[in-house]
Every structure is written in structure tokens, then in C-alpha cells.
Structure 1
Amino acid sequence: MNDTRLSLLTPSGHLTLGNYLGALRPMAAAQDAATCFYGISDLHAMTTTHDPARLRALTGEFRTLVLAAGIDPGRATVFQQSRVPAHTELAYLLECTTYVGELNRMIQFKEKRRTAGGVISGTRTSLYTYPVLMAADILLYRPTHVPVGDDQRQHVELARDVAQRFNLAYGPVFTVPEITVPPVGARLMDLADPARKMSKSAEADAAGVVRLLDDPDLVRRKIARAVTDSDTGPAAVRFDRTAKPGVSNLLELVAACTGTTVEDAAEGVPTYGALKKVATDAVLAVLEPLQRRYAELAADPGQVEEVFEAGSARCREVTAPVLAAARAAIGLS
């Protein structure tokens, strides 16, 4: 069976260094090992209150960053979810196969509703049902593997359950994908609060979030202010997630940027100041070429538009037979 992989990025905030190391870089690395479909899931950005102009701007920024990060449209298909109507059409067919109890158990729905004060009347229906749209996103491309972090694992498991139930009830339409987990250390934590993931949904002025388009001086200031601890002994710079979460986060950042281990990152680094200098150099070595390429692509937005429209057109062709098979199997002409 051909190895097919799918990854989607939701334009709900500016992409961070964690998004690059944990998602974009592995996506680029997989291009020659599999048939890859990489999408901007703009429909998922509408599950909570959003500003249309900001959504359009973030979608354009994401599309440009995907290409700047080394995704080659000659080796992978890049697309915009909302331009492939099969996503929403299959989502309804899968809603007819998904149980309310399954959606009630979705952790992200509970968490986002809690941040809104638990007010059900102010919660969009799309927030409740979007795991089904995510299942449609996945199953339309019949991927063999879906790389996913812990925060999305439950949704991919739902996609697997729904695919198996549909196949059992109506016939073998969908491939049931395997879940693949990013390498340890790819998940970076907030520099100011290492108990939290570095999130693209954080406030614009978040001191602990390094965004891919932050200018070098801002990156230096954020890393200089990163949380460490009061230990100044001879072995202060060491990896210990429990006792030294801030220091461990910086070591993981260096290791992820340089492709080494946390032990190598700590070698010969005697102080927190030295560690922050090493971390700053490592981060800028990753961001500077990415930002140069982004500037080149942003200067010609028409080229980016053409690339994504061509990819979306290909996805419309690829998904058409899968949608047709699902429609026929479930009883539609």
C-alpha cells in the first residue's frame, strides 16, 4: 500500500517556533518518503468567534510560511480546506455515523466551552461537530498515517472509530489510518510558563511565545527573559523536567533546533546566561533563513495563490471518488 500522509494547520493564530519544529519541519522531511497532502484548515478556524479579515490575513500568512518552510509543491500537494467542497459534504455523511456520546467526550470542546464561562448558548455548533469535519478531512485522502500531537490524538481516534463503523455498516470505503507521534522533544513549552505548550493562540504580546515572524531583537528579548530557577550550582544547567522545567525547556529548544540531544545541548554550558545565549543562536539560525524565504514569497502573493489553487484543484480530483463511494455506500445516488 502506498504510504499517504496528511497534515493540516489551522490559522487560529500566528505560527510559532514550536509549530515549525513539531509540524512544519517534519512535514518537509516526509515529502520524499510518502505521498503528502498538506492543508490549511481555515474552516476549523471558524469554530469560535473570529474576525473575517484576520482569518483571511492569517490564511495568507500560513500559506506563505508553509512554502517558506520547505514544502515543495512539486513533491507534496498543498491546499486550502475551504476550496475542496468534499470536506464539508463528507462531514455530514459522517455526522450520520457519529454518536452524540462520542462528541460529548471530546476534551477540546469541554475546555473551550469552559474558557467561555461554560455558557452553552454562546457556544457555536461547529465547535461541537468539528471533530467530525476533522474525520472527513482525514478519511477523504485515505492516508495510511496521520502524525498527531497529544492534543489532537482523541480526534484522530474518533476518525478511526467512525471509519470502522461506516465500513462495517455500509461497505469498505475508508482506509483506517495509523496514528504516528512526533519525536520526543518536538513539543516546546512556553518560555514564560513551561507548564503550558507554546501556543499560536496565545495573546499577541505573550512573552513566552516565539513566533516564526518575530524579528531577531524580539526573539533575543523573549529568550533572555525565559524562566529558569534559583539554582546557581555547578550542575545548574541540566535536564530535569520535574525539578527544572524552565531550564529543561530551553535545553529541549536547543536540541530541537540543532538536531542534537538535551545532554549534548547542556555540554559545556555552565550558566543560565550561557544557555540563553546558546538558545538564542540556535533559534535565530532556524528563523533567519525561513524569514528570508518568507519575504521573497510574500513579495509575489500571486505565485503563492497559484500554487495553492493548483493544489486545491488536485485535491478536488483526489477526493471526488472517495466522496462518490461514500455517497453510494450510504444510499445516495
Structure 2
Amino acid sequence: MTETSLTIPPRVFSGMQPSGNLHLGNYLGAMVNWVAMQRTHDCIYCVVDMHAITVAQDPHELRKSIREVTAAYLAAGIDAKKHIIFNQSQVAEHAELAWVFNCVARLGWLNRMTQFKEKAGKDRENASVGLYAYPNLMAADILVYRATHVPVGEDQKQHLELARDIAQKFNNDFAASIAEHGFGEEFFPLPEPMIQGPATRVMSLRDGTKKMSKSDPSDYSRINLIDDADTIALKIRRAKTDPEPLPSEMQGLAGRPEAENLIGIFSALSGQSKEEVLKQFGGGQFSAFKAALVDLAVAKLGPVTAEMKRLSGDAAYIDSVLKDGADRARVIARQNMDAVKDIVGFVR
């Protein structure tokens, strides 16, 4: 039975952009969860370099970032032999399916995408078409593998909903052809979001109301995965807090975003619940809590950082991982893209 028959195997797809340093939010919000899902799903993890060029990139820095993100995937514990790691631009079917989806998606759908409005700002006329059509390519990334589950952050949930809309419209528009070619009532699955992980939304160390981001101008707002122990310690000690002692119960965190963020980070790194962390540190000053958080963060992130740096020094190995992953991804993508061509009515 082929992949393009009636049975669609459960499959996870997700990816990260190679733009700037990966940070604690990427690790706790995505990578820890990705590693865990390897035990229960077939996983495809992509370095989405085609998405990265929706804004200007230095070619030398882009190549470096692609390899660095790949090193981070491996250092975090993703098994490139059992699962697939590759960079998007090596599998042309992503772009090929994206064009089909450009012709399926409606302009009104894209006009509702809030992330374009945020990234383009007031000068939208000068934003690239790629930035505007980004969600269609994201839909193609997922559906070219007919992925059934997608771990996403809250900021990407709207894009996944669009991918579901595109899949549904394709299935409806080509229902007769899908059936004619033996694929049953629908060809594309409606991928399900998986919003989970120990800390799905890690906030800035300088402002607990803003998400930790690699685009924040202050390096003290985030803990980068390449930071050494001294840098991690300095950033945590300088993390914004408030003058009140830590509460002993969760309701005491209301209206205290910086305190809640640091408790959340400790909880995610330690595997304890927030309630357990507050029982341990409630009533104490931030100085003692921060000291414990420094020790925990260094112990948890130190091995990942060391392995990242080791792997980043071996570009030939990283490139071999990406090529092997791309070769295996292409087999799945090509089969599905050929089926799409048959359904749409292309001659091949």
C-alpha cells in the first residue's frame, strides 16, 4: 500500500527559521517537545530556510545559521537516523506545492493573517510578496508530507488554521478527481495542532509581557543556546523582577509577569510543577531563587551548548545530515506531489 492510497500514516512535521541565535524559548517551547515526540510518532523536522528569505538575509550568515540550527536539533536529542532532519530548500516540492496552494488560497484569507501585519508594519507596500504569501508555503511544508500533527506555538496557530482551510478547499475543489484517482473522499488530511511542551511561551527576561525573541535588540532579554555559564548567570541575575517576595501559591503571581515567567522557566527546566516550585521558594527573596535558577539552567543547558558548539565546528558532518534527510524527505514529497499533479490535471 502506497502513501498516496487511502491510508495516511500519522506523521509530525515542524520547523524553525535559521535567523539569529536560538534561545531558551525555542528549546523549552519546541525542542524538548520534539525530542519527546520521537518516541511516539514518525517525525520530520525542517530548517525552514526558504521562509527566512522573506526578509533580507546575508548569504554567508544564512548558511552559518542553517548549520547552527541543525546542530541545535541534534544537540537537543533529535535522532537524525530514525527521523528526518533537513533544510527546506533542498526539497523543491515545497515550492512546487506552494504555487498550487497560491491558486487555492483566497486573498481574503491572507489579509486576515495578523503576523504579516505585525512584521510588515506601517510600510506594507514595501514588504515582500514572500512575506505576505508565507502562510501558503507553510501549508505546503506540512501537506507535501501529508502530515497529520504539527507542534506549533500560539503565534503560528493562525497559520496552521489556514493550512487546514487550504487542505479542505483543495479536497472540495478536486473531490471528483481525488476519487477518480483512488484516494477516497479527500487527499490531504486536516493537520492537528499540538500546542504543548514544558513551557509553550517563555517570556523576555526584561519584560514579562513580551515573548522571548531573537529579534529583541537587547541580548539580556533572552538566554541563547550558545551562551556560556557566566553569561547565563549574568542574564538571570539581571532579569527584571519586582520588590515583593515570591508567593507560596499560584494566585500570588497574578499581575506579576516577570515573577511568573521565572517560575515557569524553573518549572520547565526542573520538571516540577509551578505549584511545587512556589512551595519550595515561596516567601523567599528573588536573590536566592535566582541563584538556584542559575545552577539549574547551567546544568540543563550546558551539555546542549557544548554539543552544539562541537557539531557546529564540523560543517561537513552537518551537511551530510541535511543531505541524507533531504534525500529521504524528497521520496515522500515527490510521491505526494506527483499525486497532486494527477489530481489537478497536469501531464507528467
TM-score, scaled to structure 2: 0.90
Tell me which of 230, 239, 243 is aligned to 1:230: 243
- In the TM superposition, residue 101 of structure 1 has moved relative to its aligned partner by 0.3
Q: Establish whether residue 162 from structure 1 lines up as the match of residue 169 from structure 2.
A: no
Match of 2:280 in 1: 268
In the aligned structure 1, how far is the partner of 2:253 from the partner of 2:159?
27
**Aligned partners of 1:288 and 1:58: how far apart in 2?**
20
Matched-pair contact (CA < 8 Å) for 2:228–2:302 = no
Q: Distance in 1 between matches of 2:215 and 2:164?
A: 27
- Are 1:107 and 2:114 matched, yes or no? yes
Contact 1:194–1:245 at 8 Å: present in 2 too? yes
Cα distance in 2, alignment partners of residues 64 and 9 from structure 1 = 12
Report how far residue 127 of structure 1 moved. 0.5
Residues 1:308 and 1:65: Cα distance change in structure 2 (over 3 Å): same
Name the SS of the counterpart of 2:328 in structure 1. helix
The residue correspondences of 1:1-333 to structure 2 (distance < 5 A) are: 2-114=9-121, 118-170=122-174, 171=178, 172-183=186-197, 185-203=199-217, 205-232=218-245, 236=247, 239=250, 240-269=252-281, 270-333=284-347
- RCO (CA 8 Å, sep 6+): is it higher in 1 or 2? 2
CA contact (8 A) 1:14 1:201 kept: no
Distance of 1:267 and 1:80 partners within structure 2 = 44
Question: In the alignment, residue 202 of structure 2 is paired with which amino acid?
Answer: L
Q: Kindly, what percent of the aligned residue pairs are identical?
A: 38
- C-alpha spacing 1:26/1:183, structure 2 compared with 1 (3 Å): closer
Do the aligned residues in 2 keep the contact of 1:250 with 1:275 (CA within 8 Å)? no
Q: How many residues align?
A: 327
Q: Distance in 1 between matches of 2:159 and 2:287?
A: 41
Instruction: Give the root-mean-square deviation of aligned CA atoms.
Output: 1.5
Shift of 1:287: 1.0
What is the one-letter code of the residue matched to 2:130? S
Gaps of 5+ in 2: 1-7, 179-185
Structure 1 stretch displaced more, 245-254 or 258-267: 258-267
CA distance in 2, matches of 1:201, 1:313: 32
Opposite residue 225 of structure 2, the aligned amino acid is L
**Structure-1 separation of matches of 2:150 and 2:131:** 22
- Alpha-carbon contact 1:40-1:79 (below 8 Å) kept: yes
Q: Return 5+ residue gaps in structure 1 as ranges.
A: none
